[in-house]
Amino acid sequence: MAMRDTLDFLLYGWLQSESLNQRERFADHSRETFDAVLDTCERIAREKFAPVNRLLDTQEPHFDGERVHLPQATREALDAYVESGMLSAAQDYENGGMQLPCTVEMAANAFFSKACIALGGYAMLTNGNANLLMAHGTPRQREVFAKAEFEGRWFGTMCLSEPQAGSSLSDVATRAEPDGADSENDPLGPRYRLRGHKMWISAGEHELRENIVHLVLAKIPGPDGKPVPGVRGISLFIVPKWLVDAEGQLTGERNDVVLAGLNHKLGYRGTTNCLLNFGEGRHQPGGQGGAIGYRVGAPGEGLKAMFHMMNEARIGVGLGATMLGYAGYEASLAYARQRPQGRPLTATGKDAASPQRPIIEHADVKRMLLAQKSYVEGALALELFCARLVDEQHTAEAEAAGRARLLLEVLIPIAKSWPSEWCLEANSLAIQVLGGYGYTRDFPVEQHWRDNRLNMIHEGTHGIQALDLLGRKVVMEGGAALMALARRINETISAAGQVPGLAEAANQLAQALAQVGAATKAAWATGEPEAALANATPYLQAFGHTVLAWIWLDVVLALAPDDTRDFAQGKRAAQAYFFAYELPRIAAWLAVVQRREALCREMQDAWF
């Protein structure tokens, strides 16, 4: 079954994406225009991205002390991406965009992530960077920087982490000081000099485009000359690699941002990942050291602005993890169909003289493929559902938009974390299906597994997602987000209860939902964060599995009960697999949450 069939079914059969054209913003669109975008992206991904995926892994970016060297294939593939117009696909017509719904934009980007996740990184960062400027930048910042990014003339980065501050952004130490007497009057925005180090900067240095637009979190010293502690002290700055004038023309002057070194990674090797030094004086823009940056938004509002785009960034990471899982699923399915090995078990034993059979006939291989299918197709459905919520939030009438916002709040930690964990597991199963061959670099599955291991780390680690979910999202606004989700899940349960063959699953999901609710309450029963949150990760896992079970049940509800095509049977089997093999896992995870198991938090360093 080609992925496109599943994608089409999820978009049109399940999410009714065609109906989006009833919204004014999408009035010019139709299934035809959506399909045209999907066709184009599927083709470019197949023709330009997929063929270079291994090459970009093997020929890792190399820093000679002056310049970064990337394989030529990187530029060629990204040129094709830029030409597709996808960088600005969701933007307004007046800004050169095509007002594409987020749902379709994400679906289209899925092809690129599956073909070569490392290339997708450049695009995702540039798009996120420009979107942030559209939301928080001045008209001129939008015109100069965002526009060049949407057009793909410049690429963007997000500079948050520092060597000593990863998950703990409140400890950002990069300083920004006003750049002279006229600093407030720069047409590009209040001008500062930045000094500090930024770590893990993807796409932080390259020569793929004529400029790089760094978005940098830094602290402006207070009246006492010291940075304000905590996240309240953080502001946001545009720091271009090459300086530009008020019309966005390159002045030829190099800003004081210097590559200190490339990180050599386990995977995702085609995306340069850098330690950048800001303001060390290597370059002297305007005759002095210090990286020139233009403030975006008000002082102290930097993190808020950065987090404005967080939902879409986290859907993007979750989708990337999903598509790596999908790529492994496809590769191992193809292998299992053509690899002969062993013979079926029968009551009379095996006949060694009979020819070997394709391994897809073995129950355990089918189990490994079905597990992958349930993970990757379920995760894809979840990501598209969340993308649809983004569209709802932006274009539906107020009440529906508000409901979508609440659902997104509570689903985003799952959309980011669940595929990172389970589509990685899918990648491991793909290796296992291939056996020894899967362990070699002659097949793609080992690279998928290496690439995917990043996704539980970046864009907020698993542990951070868990704290966000149990510590913030399920308790926010008096539990409103959790209740909104429960209502939505109960709609599915009610509908499934009416369908022969799904009633038992509906009942199982209802029980799971009740268990999650009870555990949530029990976790917070004492009101002490350290007691509630000590088991936040098992809670995240149980919550995630419950959400995925709901998604699967909702997806199969979109099939006609009398639909017996292979496609429909496959979806039903994956749903049934998830309910039989996966959903029952939540009991073990929730048990420790429910009783506020104190073992881990009471563990002492000296006992290890």
Q: Which residues are catalytic?
A: 459
Instruction: Among 314, 416, 448, 458, indicate the residue that binds a copy of itself (CB under 8 A).
Output: 458
Q: Is 510 exposed, middle or buried (0-12, 13-18, 19+ CB in 10 A)?
A: middle
Phi/psi-derived region of residue 285, left when phi > 0, alpha when psi is between -120 and 50, beta in every other case: beta
CB 386 to a copy of itself: min, Å: 24
Strands 211-219 and 154-159: parallel
Cβ distance to a copy of itself smaller for residue 410 or 534: 534
Q: Are 29 and 96 in contact (CB under 8 A)?
A: no
550-569 positions binding a copy of itself, by CB under 8 A: 566, 569
Copy the structure tokens of residue 277: 């030094």
The yes or no reply on residue 441 touching a copy of itself (CB under 8 A) is yes
The yes or no reply on residue 528 touching a copy of itself (CB under 8 A) is yes
97-156 positions binding a copy of itself, by CB under 8 A: none
Q: How far is CA 305 from CA 132, 296, 401, in A?
A: 7, 8, 21
Number of residues counted as binding a copy of itself (CB under 8 A): 99
292-351 positions binding a copy of itself, by CB under 8 A: 333, 337, 340-347
- Find all residues with CB under 8 Å of 154, minimum gap 6, and list them: 126, 145, 148, 209, 210, 211, 212, 213, 240
588-607 positions binding a copy of itself, by CB under 8 A: 588, 591-592, 597, 599-601, 603-607
CB 150 to a copy of itself: min, Å: 29
- Please, which residues bridge with residue 159 across strands? 216
The yes or no reply on residue 353 touching a copy of itself (CB under 8 A) is yes
146-165 positions binding a copy of itself, by CB under 8 A: 161, 164-165
Copy the structure tokens of residue 165: 């501050």
54-73 positions binding a copy of itself, by CB under 8 A: none
- Find all residues with CB under 8 Å of 149, minimum gap 6, and list them: 87, 126, 127, 129, 130, 133, 155, 156, 213
CB 271 to a copy of itself: min, Å: 12
Instruction: Among 210, 251, 439, 561, indicate the residue that binds a copy of itself (CB under 8 A).
Output: 439
- Find all residues with CB under 8 Å of 109, minimum gap 6, and list them: 41, 86, 120, 123, 124, 316, 319
Stretch that binds a copy of itself, among 23-31, 392-400, 407-415, 441-449 (CB under 8 A): 441-449
The yes or no reply on residue 366 touching a copy of itself (CB under 8 A) is yes
376-435 positions binding a copy of itself, by CB under 8 A: 428, 431-432, 435
The yes or no reply on residue 536 touching a copy of itself (CB under 8 A) is yes
Instruction: Among 124, 148, 212, 456, indicate the residue that binds a copy of itself (CB under 8 A).
Output: 456
Amino acid at 303: L
CB 364 to a copy of itself: min, Å: 4
**Cα–Cα distance between 280 and 473 in angstroms, integer?**
40
Output the CA torsion sign for 316, 92, 77, 31. Answer: positive
192-231 positions binding a copy of itself, by CB under 8 A: 199-200, 229-231
